Amino acid sequence: MVIRNKEARIAVIGAGPSGITAGKNLLQVGLRNIVIYEKNDQVGGNWLYSPRLSHSSVFETTHIISSKKLSQYADYPMPDDYPDYPSHKQLLAYFQGYADHFGVTPYIRFNTEVTKAEKQPDETWKLTLGDGTVEHFDYLLVANGHHWNPRLPNYPGEFTGQFLHAHDFKSAAPFKDQRVLVIGGGNSACDIAVETCRVSAFTGISMRRGYYISPKFAMGQPADVLNARVMGIPAWIRLPLLRLTLWLNVGDYASYGLERPKHSLLGAHLTVNSELLYFIRHGKIHPRRDVARFEGKQVHFVDGKVEEYDSVIAATGFIITFPFFDKNFIDYSEGDVPLYLRVFHPDHPSLFFIGLLQPLGCIWPLADLHAQLAANFIIGNYNPPSDMRERIAKEVEHIRMHYIKSARHTIEVDFYQHQRELQRDLPANAPAWQGKQAELTR
């Protein structure tokens, strides 16, 4: 294969799970003029746990919510001795091992923040770094993550106790003997409610709607592994079967004091937690309706209940943020995210997004495929379809029709469907990893 753009200079923003696979795939196609900018001092992104407030949203007891089998990169399996649901420490070691194994680490500039990224008239990029240095690149891959800028709720009144976002929750210890209210019904909210209830005087969890809450295990195996086993069954059979399996495991959500979901099983991001329902039935976690307003330390709920709390923890999601882009250039903080396959922007052919999605599954294997497509585009081995704009419009409409309207679902995808779409577009002659021969240094 004759590689075009072999000398192209390429920047990657972020050395988290998406950034390191971006680097690996650029190396895989023979590109070497690469710089990966990382504002922290090591690989890991959101999985760099710190007991202090930081960019990371991981807390002391965080474990992954998708199983290791379906979360690992295709060409770098997790160690055999890892549990089904690894801890944040194990995942950090895994990502750092990946970057070292594939020779990505030497290309990373640690402790270096990109403060401004500006597209030039000739489709190249001008990057301004935190120290004022200016660098120029032919291509830009954005892998800065989307689980770090808190989205705060807006309720009438003022809460005069401690109010914080889930991003700032690091451990349950500070909430010992407190009355704690967790707002939200997603994975972070349920995990935090479970952790605080172990030490608090009282833990409530406020949900604005019904959620499907699935245990991590079903029939003795990780729930996502069980789901993978039935993916070959037609959807009109498979989805009712999965819903029946879930009902057999947890019963009626109303019996827990929770609202019944009004959407379809896959119409919103699934919450995976084996302990929330257990602790509700043991009287350790107390379901509450949506918050109506605050008044001092009192919380008024929409059903008329009024209770006093010492702390409120809002697990209300994150804002998609690119602090290095002018908001008039690209701003996905609200509304649709019009990208082809979550990677390609129709107006900016030298710009690629890696891992900008929220799958019903794990991000990293899909980010790997994102990076493969981007790398093959750069060497001239792939081009998006000529009707890319029409396909983007159809994808946006699909999201609007199939998922409930909320900020988090603007980048929602079905893991297997998106995986098939990416693999369909990946060229048959895409370069494979060449082992030691490809592990070159600059």
Q: What is the CATH number for 20?
A: 3.50.50.60
**Banded model confidence at residue 376, pLDDT cuts 50, 70, 90:** very high
| Same-domain pairing of 212 and 284 | yes
**Banded model confidence at residue 265, pLDDT cuts 50, 70, 90:** confident
**Banded model confidence at residue 442, pLDDT cuts 50, 70, 90:** very low
Q: Rounded distance, CA 339 to CA 347, Å? A: 10
CA–CA distances in Å: residue 7 to residues 11, 19, 34, 60: 13, 20, 10, 43
Please provide the average confidence, as pLDDT, over all residues in the chain.
Answer: 94
Q: Choose the final residue of a domain: 314, 344, 365.
A: 314
Q: Does residue 27 carry a pLDDT above 90?
A: yes
Whether 4 is in a domain gets the answer no
**Banded model confidence at residue 439, pLDDT cuts 50, 70, 90:** very low
Predicted TM-score (pTM) of this structure: 0.94
Q: Which residues constitute the domain of residue 114?
A: 10-149+318-438
Q: Does residue 437 carry a pLDDT above 60?
A: no
Whether 104 is in a domain gets the answer yes
CA–CA distances in Å: residue 393 to residues 198, 231, 265, 368, 422: 47, 27, 24, 24, 17
| Same-domain pairing of 286 and 353 | no
Q: Does residue 31 carry a pLDDT above 80?
A: yes
Is residue 367 within a helix (H) or strand (E), and if so which, with residue range? helix 364-378
Whether 372 is in a domain gets the answer yes
Asked if 323 contacts 309 with a C-beta cutoff of 8 angstroms, the reply is no
Q: Choose the final residue of a domain: 269, 286, 314.
A: 314
Q: Does residue 322 carry a pLDDT above 50?
A: yes
77-91, 144-158, 380-394, 406-420: which range is least confident on average?
Answer: 406-420
| Same-domain pairing of 337 and 217 | no
Asked if 144 contacts 132 with a C-beta cutoff of 8 angstroms, the reply is no
Backbone angles phi, psi at 380, to 5 degrees: 80, 20
State residue 436's pLDDT score: 52
Helix axes of 415-425 and 364-378: crossing angle, nearest 10 degrees: 20
State residue 441's pLDDT score: 30
Q: What would you report as the CA-atom Rg of the chain, rounded to the nearest whole angstrom? A: 22
| Same-domain pairing of 54 and 139 | yes
Given its phi and psi angles, is residue 65 left (phi above 0), alpha (psi -120 to 50 degrees) or beta? alpha
Whether 345 is in a domain gets the answer yes
61-65, 81-85, 357-361: which range is least confident on average?
Answer: 357-361
| Same-domain pairing of 220 and 178 | yes
| Same-domain pairing of 77 and 133 | yes
Whether 5 is in a domain gets the answer no
| Same-domain pairing of 255 and 275 | yes
**Banded model confidence at residue 268, pLDDT cuts 50, 70, 90:** confident
Q: Rounded distance, CA 178 to CA 203, Å? A: 8
Q: What is the mean pLDDT of residues 173-183?
A: 98
State residue 235's pLDDT score: 87
| Same-domain pairing of 58 and 133 | yes
Q: Choose the final residue of a domain: 251, 281, 314.
A: 314
| Same-domain pairing of 27 and 140 | yes
Nearest one of 202, 209, 217, 203 to 185, comparing CA atoms: 209
Asked if 333 contacts 356 with a C-beta cutoff of 8 angstroms, the reply is no
Q: Does residue 1 carry a pLDDT above 60?
A: no
Is residue 36 within a helix (H) or strand (E), and if so which, with residue range? strand 34-37
Q: Rounded distance, CA 221 to CA 59, Å? A: 25
Centre a 10 Å sphere on the Cβ of residue 383 and count the other Cβ atoms it contains.
Answer: 13
Q: What is the mean pLDDT of residues 130-152?
A: 96
Number of domains in the chain: 2
CA–CA distances in Å: residue 221 to residues 3, 86, 215, 217, 218: 45, 15, 11, 5, 6
| Same-domain pairing of 231 and 141 | no
Whether 220 is in a domain gets the answer yes
| Same-domain pairing of 183 and 124 | no
Q: pLDDT, tens digit, for every residue of 353-371?
A: 999 999 988 999 999 999 9
Whether 226 is in a domain gets the answer yes
Nearest one of 346, 409, 341, 329 to 371, comparing CA atoms: 341
| Same-domain pairing of 275 and 338 | no
Nearest one of 317, 122, 127 to 208, comparing CA atoms: 317
Asked if 231 contacts 265 with a C-beta cutoff of 8 angstroms, the reply is no
Whether 43 is in a domain gets the answer yes
